[in-house]
């Protein structure tokens, strides 16, 4: 599938981006990936924080809250959503997940473990709303290369059924560099994915798109399929 690249916001997600860029730490969005209502959790309300510069990224440089991230503020926003906003605006829509993504790479945050603990506590405290909600981390897969981040993800996968969505957009070095905008080698990133997947389940997420009018070739698709087969085996 080829999806034309656009630097403009995709239809139907504008309010999600505006909520993130208005420095909200908690923002609801109807998500195709989640299959319904998802509650986004933004660890970087001030700015985009990510080691990748993907050509399809819809998080742009922006000015956010001067105060930065605060665990207490996140707790207040979660409570406000569950106590007021959800009953007023969303009930009885099923809340599919608490999704940690936002303006950057979650595993780059030193507060990731605390945020996951908070999500797990809220899920236990609000069973009527969150009983069916997964806790999800969407990652560009670089955190698998760091012991601290991978250990946190592994622990919460085991103890809280954390769902880890791991980005992998290419099967060869050339296309990986194009799609990630980073200096990391594909072999290293794929090795991190494989190492983590041997200990905890993950979901691979992939974007296939055109860049400067050119999409992946049949050879690029074949390389990607071969890499997936290696990871799955």
The answer to whether the CB of 68 falls within 8 A of the CB of 46 is yes
> Is residue 52 a contact partner of residue 61, using CB atoms and an 8 Å limit?
no
Q: Which tens digit of pLDDT belongs to each residue from 211-228?
A: 989 999 999 999 999 999
pTM exceeds 0.75 for this model: yes
Q: Rounded to an integer, what distance in angstroms lies between the CA atom of residue 2 and that of residue 13?
A: 20
Q: Rounded CA gap, 193 and 50, in Å?
A: 18
The pLDDT value recorded for residue 3 is 28
pLDDT per residue over 3-49, tens digit each? Answer: 222 223 333 333 444 444 455 899 999 999 899 999 999 999 888 89
- In sequence order, the 6+-apart residues with CB closer than 8 A to the CB of 82 are 122, 126, 129, 130
Over the stretch 116-145, which tens digit does the pLDDT of each residue have?
A: 999 999 999 999 999 999 999 999 999 999
Q: How far apart are CA 154 and CA 161, in angstroms?
A: 10
Residues paired with residue 137 on neighbouring β-strands, in sequence order: 100, 164
Q: Are 134 and 143 in contact (CB under 8 A)?
A: no
pLDDT digits (tens, 9 = 90+) for 147-177: 999 999 999 999 999 999 999 999 999 999 9
**CATH code given to domain 14-232:** 3.20.20.70
HSE, side-chain direction, 13 A CA sphere, residue 169: 26
Q: What is the DSSP letter of 152?
A: H
Using alpha carbons, select from 116, 140, 153, 134 the residue that is nearest to residue 206: 140
């Amino acid at each position: 599938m080829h999806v034309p690249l656009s630097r403009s916001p995709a239809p139907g997600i504008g309010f999600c981006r505006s909520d993130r860029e208005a420095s909200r730490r908690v923002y609801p969005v109807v998500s195709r990936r989640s299959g319904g209502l998802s509650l986004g959790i933004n660890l970087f309300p001030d700015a985009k924080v990510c080691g990748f510069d993907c050509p399809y990224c819809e998080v742009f440089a922006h000015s956010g809250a001067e105060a930065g991230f605060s665990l207490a503020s996140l707790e207040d926003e979660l409570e406000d959503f569950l106590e007021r906003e959800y009953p007023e605006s969303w009930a009885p829509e099923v809340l599919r997940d608490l999704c940690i993504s936002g303006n950057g790479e979650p595993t780059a945050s030193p507060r990731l473990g605390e945020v996951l603990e908070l999500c797990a506590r809220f899920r236990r405290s609000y069973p009527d709303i969150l009983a069916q909600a997964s806790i999800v981390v969407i990652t560009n897969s670089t955190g698998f290369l760091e012991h601290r981040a991978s250990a946190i993800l592994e622990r919460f996968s085991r103890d809280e059924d954390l769902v880890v969505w791991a980005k992998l957009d290419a099967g060869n070095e050339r296309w990986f560099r194009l799609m990630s905008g980073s200096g990391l080698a594909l072999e290293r990133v794929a090795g991190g994915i494989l190492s983590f997947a041997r200990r905890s389940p993950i979901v691979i997420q992939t974007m296939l798109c055109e860049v400067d009018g050119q999409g992946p070739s049949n050879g690029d698709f074949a390389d990607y399929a071969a890499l997936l087969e290696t990871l799955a085996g």
